[in-house]
Amino acid sequence: MDLALAPETLARWQFGITTVYHFLFVPLTISLAAMTAGLETAWVRTGKEKYFHATKFWGKLFLINIAMGVVTGLVQEFQFGMNWSDYSRFVGDVFGAPLAMEALLAFFFESTFIGLWIFGWDKLPKKIHCACIWIVSLGTVLSSYFILAANSWMQHPVGYAIDKATGKARLTDIWAVLTQNTTLVVVFHTLTAAFLTGAAFMVGISSFHLWRAKRRQDRGEELGEKQKKQIPAMRASLRVGLVVAVIAGMGTAISGDQLGKVMFEQQPMKMAAAEALWDTQAPAPFSIFAVGDVSKGHNSVELEVPGMLSFLAHSNFTDSVPGINDVAAREAAAYGGQPEDYIPSIFMTYWGFRLMIGFGMTSFVAALIGLWTTRRKKWLSPAFRTGEDEVPRLMLTKGREMSPLLTKWSWRIGILTMGFPLIANSFGWIFTEMGRQPWVVYGLMKTSDAVSPGVSRTEVLISLGVFTLLYGVLAVVEVRLLTKYAKAGPDTDEKPPAKDPRLRLPSGGPGAGAAGEHDAADDDADKPLTFAY
C-alpha cells in the first residue's frame, strides 16, 4: 500500500492536526481564565471601574476562545476509540482512569461554572460570581494535570504490569501514574508555557490600544471619550500581562531545563534527536545550527557550544551524552528490528526543539524589557511620571526616555510577539510527540500497532478531510471575531451592576417556596437580561 495513504499515516496526520489545533486554544483558556479571575478579584476588592472593564474585556476574548477549546476537546476524547482502537484496548485499564477523572473533576467544573459566570452577572452576588471564574480556572488547571498525567504515562510508563493472559497493560499503582516526575515536570512546564501564552496575548492587545492612543496624541488629535476611558483598563492589563509573562517565562525556562534532564534519562533518543547528536560524546556540545543527513548518520554543517549539552543533561560540562546511533542500536537489540526503525524524524525534532525555545524565550525577553521600561512611578524622575489614565512613557533609566524610534519599535514588538508562545507551544508538542516515535507508549507499543484495524482508509480519509475543512473554516471565523472584539477594546459605557444581587437559599426565606410565582411579582420581573445569547 502507498505509505502516504496508509491508515496509520492518515490517522497520525489527523491526530497531529486536531491536537495542535486544540492546543492553540487550551493554553489561552488556562491563562485567560486565571487572569480574568485575578482582574475580577481586583474589581471586587477595590471597586475600581478600570478593573471591571478589563474583566469584561478579557472575559469576552476568553469566551470566544474557550468555545473553540471545548468543542475541539470532544474530538480528542472520541479519537482514541475511533482511530486508535488497538491502542485503546491495550492501554484502557491505565489510560482511561485519568481521562475519566478529568471529565468528573475538571470538565464539570469548567462547563457548569462558566455558564454561571456568563449569565450570572445580575443573578449572583459579586463575590460568588468572582468565585465562579476561579472555579473555572481551577477546572482548567485540573484538566491539564489529568490529561498530562495520561500523556506522561505514554512517554514513560509506570505503575502498570502487562497482564500475562491478555497481553494488555494493567494498572497497578494509580499514585505512581499521577505523581511520577515526568507528570509533575510536564505539568509545570505546560502550565507556565500556558501562562506565558495568555500573558503575551494580553501584552500584545494592550500594547495595540496604548500605542494607538499614543500615536493619536502625538499627531495632536484629541482622544475620544471612549478611548480616554479605555486607557486605564489597558494600562492595568499591560502590567498584569508583563508581570505574568516574566514569571511564567522564567518558570517555562526552569521547568524546560528540568524536563530536559528527565528526558535525557527516560528517552535518550528524543534528546539526542533534539540535538542531532549522532554519536555519543563526552563532553557533548550543544548544537546551535546543523544540517543533518539521516541516511548518512551525521551532520554536514554544524555550529556548537562545546560541553553545553553535557551541562543540560547532567549539570556538568564533562559527562557523556548518548548519540542517536548508539541509542538506536541499543533499542534494536532490545526490541528487534533495524536501528533505523528507532530513529524519529531528526529534522522535525531538531528544528521543533529550536523553534520552541526560540519563540518562547523571545516572548520572555520582550516581557522582561517591557516590565523594566514601564516600571512603577517611584522608580522614575518626577518629570517622567504618568498617571493611570495616560499612556506610559517607555523609560530606559530613571531620567531617560527611549527615543521615538525605539519607543515605536518597542510597542510594535509587544504587538508582534503576541502569538509567539502559540508557535512555541505547537512546536513543543510536535517535538515531544514526534520525538517519541516509533513508540506510542514508550517501550511498550509502537504507533503502527495502535491504529484501528476495523476502520477503512476511506473512513479515515473522510474524517481527516472533514476535520481539516471544518477546523480551517472555524479558524477564520474565530480569528475574525477575536480581532473585531480585541480592536474594539473595553466597552467603557458598560456600568458595573448597581446593586449586589442577593442569593436566597432554595429552602427558607419568605416566598422562597413558590419561587417561580413569587419572582413574577417582583418589580423588575420584566427587566431584560444583562446578558443573553
Partner 1 sequence: MSLHLHDVWFVLIAVLWTGYFFLEGFDFGIGVLTKPLARDRTERRVLINTIGPVWDGNEVWLITAAGATFAAFPDWYATLFSGFYLPLLAILVCLILRGVAFEYRHKRPEERWQRNWENVIFWCSLLPAFLWGAIFANMVRGVPIGPDKNYAGDLLDLANPYALLGGALTLVLFTFHGAVFASLKTVGEIRTRARRFAAGLGPVAAVLAVAFLGWTQHDSGNGRSLAALLVSAAALLAALVMNRRGREGWAFALSGVAIAAAVAMLFLALFPDVMPSSLDPRWSLTAADAASSPYTLKIMTWIGAVMTPLVMAYQAWTYWVFRKRIGTQHIPEPTGH
The distance of closest approach from Cβ of residue 510 to partner 1 in the complex, given in angstroms and rounded to an integer, is: 17
CA distance 204 to 209: 9
The distance of closest approach from Cβ of residue 212 to partner 1 in the complex, given in angstroms and rounded to an integer, is: 20
Looking at beta carbons only, is 416 or 512 nearer to partner 1?
Answer: 512
The distance of closest approach from Cβ of residue 497 to partner 1 in the complex, given in angstroms and rounded to an integer, is: 15
List the end-to-end C-alpha distance of the chain, in Å, as a whole number: 50
Q: Are the CB atoms for 125 and 500 separated by under 8 Å? A: yes
Looking at beta carbons only, is 5 or 462 nearer to partner 1?
Answer: 462
Q: Are the CB atoms for 320 and 268 separated by under 8 Å? A: no
Q: What residues contact 224, with CB distance under 8 A and at least 6 apart? A: none
Which residue shows C-alpha cell 468555545? 67
The distance of closest approach from Cβ of residue 419 to partner 1 in the complex, given in angstroms and rounded to an integer, is: 21
431 alpha carbon, distance to own chain's centre = 15
Q: Are the CB atoms for 109 and 138 separated by under 8 Å? A: yes
Looking at beta carbons only, is 63 or 308 nearer to partner 1?
Answer: 63
Looking at beta carbons only, is 230 or 255 nearer to partner 1?
Answer: 230
Looking at beta carbons only, is 80 or 420 nearer to partner 1?
Answer: 80
CA distance 290 to 307: 16
For every residue of 172-194, which 3-state class applies, written as one string? CCHHHHHHCHHHHHHHHHHHHHH
Looking at beta carbons only, is 358 or 496 nearer to partner 1?
Answer: 496
Looking at beta carbons only, is 139 or 421 nearer to partner 1?
Answer: 139
The distance of closest approach from Cβ of residue 375 to partner 1 in the complex, given in angstroms and rounded to an integer, is: 35
The distance of closest approach from Cβ of residue 139 to partner 1 in the complex, given in angstroms and rounded to an integer, is: 10
Provide the 8-state DSSP code for 511: T
The distance of closest approach from Cβ of residue 447 to partner 1 in the complex, given in angstroms and rounded to an integer, is: 16
The distance of closest approach from Cβ of residue 473 to partner 1 in the complex, given in angstroms and rounded to an integer, is: 10
Looking at beta carbons only, is 115 or 224 nearer to partner 1?
Answer: 115
The distance of closest approach from Cβ of residue 90 to partner 1 in the complex, given in angstroms and rounded to an integer, is: 8
The distance of closest approach from Cβ of residue 185 to partner 1 in the complex, given in angstroms and rounded to an integer, is: 24
Instruction: Compute the C-alpha angle 333/334/337, nearest 5°.
Output: 55
Q: Are the CB atoms for 286 and 317 separated by under 8 Å? A: no
The distance of closest approach from Cβ of residue 467 to partner 1 in the complex, given in angstroms and rounded to an integer, is: 8
Looking at beta carbons only, is 383 or 521 nearer to partner 1?
Answer: 521
The distance of closest approach from Cβ of residue 413 to partner 1 in the complex, given in angstroms and rounded to an integer, is: 30
Provide the 8-state DSSP code for 387: -
Looking at beta carbons only, is 297 or 497 nearer to partner 1?
Answer: 497
Using a 10 angstrom Cβ sphere, with 0-12 exposed, 13-18 middle and 19 or more buried, the burial of residue 528 is exposed
Dihedral angle of Cα 197, 201, 204, 207, to the nearest 10 degrees: -120
Q: Are the CB atoms for 371 and 243 separated by under 8 Å? A: yes
Using a 10 angstrom Cβ sphere, with 0-12 exposed, 13-18 middle and 19 or more buried, the burial of residue 62 is buried
Cell of 453: 484495524
Looking at beta carbons only, is 131 or 357 nearer to partner 1?
Answer: 131
Cell of 11: 490517522
Angle between helices 7-46 and 49-83 (to 10 degrees): 160
Looking at beta carbons only, is 105 or 247 nearer to partner 1?
Answer: 105
Nearest to 212 by CA among 412, 422, 445: 412
The distance of closest approach from Cβ of residue 32 to partner 1 in the complex, given in angstroms and rounded to an integer, is: 15
Q: What residues contact 483, with CB distance under 8 A and at least 6 apart? A: none
CA distance 499 to 315: 59
Angle between helices 420-434 and 346-373 (to 10 degrees): 150
DSSP string of 107-164, one letter each residue: IHHHHHHHHHHHH-TTTS-HHHHHHHHHHHHHHHHHHHHHHHHHHHHHHS--SEEE-T
Looking at beta carbons only, is 97 or 274 nearer to partner 1?
Answer: 97
The distance of closest approach from Cβ of residue 180 to partner 1 in the complex, given in angstroms and rounded to an integer, is: 16
